[in-house]
Amino acid sequence: MNVRAYHHGDLRAALVSEGMALLVERAADAVSLREVARRAGVSATAVYRHFPDKEALMTALANEGLARLAAAQHAAFEAKGGGVDGFSATGAAYVRFALANPALFRMIFAHHSPGDLTAGDTSDDAMSFLLQNARALAPPGTDPRAFALQCWSLAHGLALLMLDGHVPVDDAAIDRIVDVRAMTGGHVQPGEGFDRPGTCA
Amino acid sequence: MNVRAYHHGDLRAALVSEGMALLVERAADAVSLREVARRAGVSATAVYRHFPDKEALMTALANEGLARLAAAQHAAFEAKGGGVDGFSATGAAYVRFALANPALFRMIFAHHSPGDLTAGDTSDDAMSFLLQNARALAPPGTDPRAFALQCWSLAHGLALLMLDGHVPVDDAAIDRIVDVRAMTGGHVQPGEGFDRPGTCA
DNA sequence: CTCAAATGTTTACGGTATAAACATAACCGA
DNA sequence: TCGGTTATGTTTATACCGTAAACATTTGAG
């Protein structure tokens, strides 16, 4: 499937690029097919040669956004050297990514992704990364899948509450609220740093 | 401001009613002003005699929805006789309301509400109810506002992840994930039931 | 009874998604 | 090199949408 070099060069990539740029300025529902096409210097209906409908273009944007989100989380994890602190950092990075890319973040989750928590950890996406961490850090006797879902829900909820203006955006609060220790009552798996009370207080 | 008895009778109420009905069938962005007007048996522009624009009608729908959500939470709280179990039930009711009214739930939070966690507990809305419970149930030494925000984020995040299809909808899982004890490490305020390990596992 | 205000309708405009027909440019086999 | 098939982009058209403006009607107040 050679996408290079036809009339435009690579219109598909250009449309995704312009779409991403528009999502920085506008909310997703204020981004129109026609405007994306206009920015790419192409007629409105040219988009339909690469995407069956608007939804498909939005899905492409969502996929690109998901990749960036995952990258931000991995970077945050590595910056802390992994472990409990690294895992907490992935949660904070999740929220900060949402605040830095509101329209894109909403777009990502408004479009159904393939993976869910029931799937195995074979997929190489953010889901398996989450489950992997949950398995390592869940308090003894706790179902790692339930723990993972709690962590995800906590970060996801905080991100959206701040994004929608229901909770004041406070950078320090992000780290405080999204703290794994706050969900384990101060317990962490042995070998993953020392045991201390959750910093949430 | 006498709204009764003119040409239509009470068009404003009828528009809200038809709008709510449409939100049961369609997503919010698929509900058009014109369709609401059509259902109310009125011309498209008649809506503008009661709402300055579409956004205003949507806000009215959101307010109605917020009242219903709060009612559902209070009912769940009372059904459990209050306390920790009652508070956990409000979280579960929050998620179940979202799943039962997807479009309405999204609408509620897509429109800015007046209150946030920094405000005092003087307002008589769901926010003060949450803070009140958080104050009573937060683990010793924990900031009740931070605890409240964690609880809210957890429920909100779970609701949206299930709503968006990223997490399988599992009724039993709702109670398991949204469990206050899971966030306190098994500690509850004295006098609020016996101390036992969180049921999340 | 009259008149102004409240309410609803008609008409109009620019925007949207997208289907259909058409035009062109690139590649591919002969 | 040539000719046609296919991929790509454009033009045109349709049916919606939100909403502004002008007009019509109904209502209640004086």
Helix A83-100 vs helix A102-110: crossing angle, to nearest 10: 100
Digit-coded pLDDT (tens) for B66-81 = 999 999 999 999 999 9
Q: How far is CA B28 from CA A144, B15, B129, in A?
A: 35, 15, 28
Residues B147, B80, single domain; the answer is: yes
How close B199 gets to chain A, by Cα (Å)?
9
pLDDT in tens, A90-118: 999 999 999 999 999 999 999 866 554 55
Contact criterion met (CB < 8 Å) for B152 and A157: yes
Query: A114-139 pLDDT, tens per residue?
Result: 554 554 433 357 888 999 999 999 88
- The answer to whether residues B85 and B16 belong to one domain is no
Are residue B45 and residue B17 in the same domain, yes or no? yes
- Residues A112, A142, single domain; the answer is yes
Report yes or no: B167 at the A interface, CB cutoff 8 Å.
yes
Any strand C atom closer than 7 Å to B44 CB: yes
Residue B100 sits at the chain A interface (C-beta within 8 Å)? no
The DSSP secondary-structure symbol of B139 reads P
Q: Which chain B residues are closer than 8 Å to A152 by Cβ? A: 157, 161, 167
The Cα-based distances of A95 to A22, A105, A159 in angstroms read 21, 10, 5
Which of these three, A51, A72, A90, is where a domain ends? A51
Does pLDDT of B10 surpass 50? Answer: yes
- B73 in the same domain as B34: no
Q: Are residues B160 and B200 in the same domain?
A: yes
Separation CA B151–CA B134 (nearest Å): 9
Q: Which of A160, A168, A176 faces B146 most closely, judged by CB atoms?
A: A176
- In terms of domains, do B3 and B81 share one? no
B166 DSSP 8-state letter: S
As a residue count, chain A comes to: 201
Residues A150 and A94 in one domain: yes
Domain presence at residue B57 = no
Q: Could you tell me which of B193, B176, B196, B199 has the C-alpha nearest to residue B81?
A: B193
Query: Across the interface, which of B142, B164, B177 has its CB nearest the CB of A200?
Result: B142
Q: Is B30 on the interface with A (CB under 8 A)?
A: no
How far CA B18 is from CA of A16, B11, B32, in Å, comes to: 38, 10, 11
Query: Where do we find the tokens 């609060």?
Result: A173
Chain A residues with CB under 8 Å of B118 CB are: 168
Mean pLDDT of B83-100: 97
How far is B111 from B23, CA to CA, in rounded Å? 15
* B142, B152, B167 member nearest A116 (Cβ): B167
Question: In sequence order, which residues have a C-beta less than 8 Å from that of residue B112 and are 6 or more positions away?
Answer: A164, A165, A166
Total domains, chain B: 2
Q: What is the pLDDT of residues A1-26, one digit of tens each?
A: 434 444 677 899 999 999 999 999 99
- Closest CA–CA distance from residue A11 to any residue of chain B (Å): 28
CB distance from A47 to chain B under 8 Å? no
CB B3 within 8 A of CB B34: no
Q: Could you tell me the CATH number of the domain that includes residue B145?
A: 1.10.357.10
d(CA B9, CA B32): 22
pLDDT at B153 > cutoff 50: yes
Interface contact flag, B118 A168, Cβ < 8 Å: yes
Measured between alpha carbons, how far is B108 from B58 in angstroms, rounded to an integer? 9
- Does B155 touch chain A if contact means CB atoms closer than 8 Å? yes
Residue A125, judged by CB atoms within 10 A of its CB (0-12, 13-18, 19+), counts as middle
Domain that holds residue B15: 1-51
